Chains A and B, each alone.
Chain A
């Protein structure tokens, strides 16, 4: 039940997260903003539009939005957001989650190549460059997190962090947190890696890939990218601050508490992220590998620090 609720909450909450982040940014920049509900209205508008398929595109183009949205929803179902012990617990491995994330990225990249336009190719080449640099960092950070829990299972990591709250402030986990924040920004296409609100040809990465989509398909792509951001923020919050996550076989009250806790955590994280974005500019594309190499190094330090802390406790 909790897993189904998680999927529904991510589906319904993703536009809210996007709208909230845009609103925080708009207010801090001195604009009125479109309101928190604006993404819902955008999605409704897009869903009502006529379906247009560019000439010469194949089934890859038609399926990619569904694959991207589906893989994100599957992640939402298996990660412990509201309660531990989802039905897919045996598959709830951090490495599996990373693979699913990458599946969505690859689907959109292939779709962009399928259109055969210049922008599509450019966007997908950039996206894959960044993804290739992000992957080793995520894997290392995951490795660092799984050392104290002695398992890469997400539920095991979260419950280990719940039993031992002080471990969150150990050097290894702080470094892993910073590294994971940087790769989350890169993976979801936020500043300083990509600017989500621009359509300027020379700088865009994600918007360049989905340029050929229109109508309901564009709605699904936008929705999927919102859900991706929501799920990753929620996962980040729960890996490091697992307060309020209900136990296996939770009561209705536990589920409600878990839902409230994760809503508050995501809202706070998203607002902080949006407020931080006001103060930074997008990095030049050639400087992005520098940032990602830095996060890789932080993840490596996290692994070394937590492995030698683990020997201390023995």
Chain B
């Protein structure tokens, strides 16, 4: 793999990663959000695989395949099962910030990410650090999704986006995490999603909905 194709593929993967995050902000259908999250997982997995092919090392490729299985297949399936079957549960209820404003805020966050990562890029001008702003923007967008959504499931999606983007940042800055660390982190996320899925279904059984805004007061 030549230097040019490596840079191109890396940019494309980082761009797709950011694009899926933007689309998650845009869409309201919970099942569509979960599908987009799967695509984001795939884009994330491409990062270490490209790195491995370029450096001719097997370890990053193994990490990439593990990430692909977990984040593009297993987690979305678990989340999709937690999406309710009732009509009012399929869509995000009116978000705290309307979609137009969220998209503009997302634009602002992206610019902010470009601004704050400049010093990090200045440290080492390699193709991987140049893709960093795109990934860093996803961290900010994920935090925004977590605070602006009302359904338990979309907040879980925000959490997973945050985790995806932190992992991606690790891949880009440190050129790969040791396999054992990545496995540990992945296992953690897997259990978190299990617990979130269980919690969502319990909430639905107990309260008939997962709109977290209605769960602020204690009642007898």
The verdict on A293 contacting chain B, using a C-beta distance below 8 Å, is yes
Interface readout for B88-119 with A: 1 if CB under 8 Å, 0 if not?
00000000001110011011001100100000
CA distance A293 to B100 in the complex (A): 6
CA distance A175 to B130 in the complex (A): 18
Given A170-B8, A171-B12, A308-B130, A297 and B99 contact (CB-CB distance below 8 Å): no
A290→B19 contact, CB < 8 A: no
**Among the listed B8, B100, B110, B127, which residue makes an inter-chain contact with A304, where contact means beta carbons less than 8 Å apart?**
B110
- Of all chain B residues, the one with the shortest Cβ separation from A309 is B11
Interface residues of A in 173-188 (CB under 8 A from B): 174-175
6 A-B pairs with least C-beta separation: A171-B15, A293-B103, A293-B100, A290-B99, A297-B107, A300-B107
Q: How far is the CB of A84 from chain B (nearest CB, A)?
A: 27
CA distance A301 to B18 in the complex (A): 9
Given A300-B111, A308-B130, A312-B130, A171 and B11 contact (CB-CB distance below 8 Å): yes
B110→A296 contact, CB < 8 A: no
Number of interface residues of B (CB under 8 A): 25
Given A175-B19, A304-B133, A312-B127, A293 and B111 contact (CB-CB distance below 8 Å): no
The verdict on B26 contacting chain A, using a C-beta distance below 8 Å, is yes
Interface residues of A in 29-87 (CB under 8 A from B): none
Interface size of A as a range: 20 to 34
Q: How far is the CB of B16 from chain A (nearest CB, A)?
A: 8
- Of all chain A residues, the one with the shortest Cβ separation from B13 is A171
The verdict on A305 contacting chain B, using a C-beta distance below 8 Å, is yes
CA distance A312 to B106 in the complex (A): 25
CA distance A297 to B103 in the complex (A): 7
CA distance A293 to B102 in the complex (A): 9
Main secondary structure of the interface of B (DSSP, over half): helix
A-B contact count (CB 8 A): 59
The verdict on A99 contacting chain B, using a C-beta distance below 8 Å, is no
Q: How far is the CB of B125 from chain A (nearest CB, A)?
A: 9
The verdict on A96 contacting chain B, using a C-beta distance below 8 Å, is no
The verdict on B83 contacting chain A, using a C-beta distance below 8 Å, is no
Q: Which of B19, B98, B104, B114 has the most CB of A within 10 A?
A: B19
The verdict on B148 contacting chain A, using a C-beta distance below 8 Å, is no
Interface residues of B in 51-68 (CB under 8 A from A): none
**Among the listed A289, A296, A312, which residue makes an inter-chain contact with B107, where contact means beta carbons less than 8 Å apart?**
A296
The verdict on B31 contacting chain A, using a C-beta distance below 8 Å, is no
- Which residues of B sit under 8 angstroms from A298, Cβ to Cβ? 22
Given A175-B15, A300-B110, output 4 extra A-B contacts at Cβ < 8 Å.
A293-B99, A294-B22, A300-B111, A301-B19
CA distance A35 to B199 in the complex (A): 59
Q: How far is the CB of A235 from chain B (nearest CB, A)?
A: 24
Interface readout for A272-314 with B: 1 if CB under 8 Å, 0 if not?
0000000000000000011001101110110011001101100
Q: List 6 A-B contacts (CB under 8 A).
A: A171-B14, A289-B100, A294-B22, A294-B103, A301-B110, A304-B114
The verdict on B186 contacting chain A, using a C-beta distance below 8 Å, is no
B22→A297 contact, CB < 8 A: yes
Q: Which of A166, A175, A304, A311 has the most CB of B within 10 A?
A: A304
- Which residues of A sit under 8 angstroms from B18, Cβ to Cβ? 301
- Which residues of B sit under 8 angstroms from A309, Cβ to Cβ? 11
Given A304-B110, A304-B111, A290 and B11 contact (CB-CB distance below 8 Å): no
The verdict on B7 contacting chain A, using a C-beta distance below 8 Å, is yes
Given A301-B19, A304-B110, A312-B130, A170 and B11 contact (CB-CB distance below 8 Å): yes
Q: How far is the CB of B17 from chain A (nearest CB, A)?
A: 10
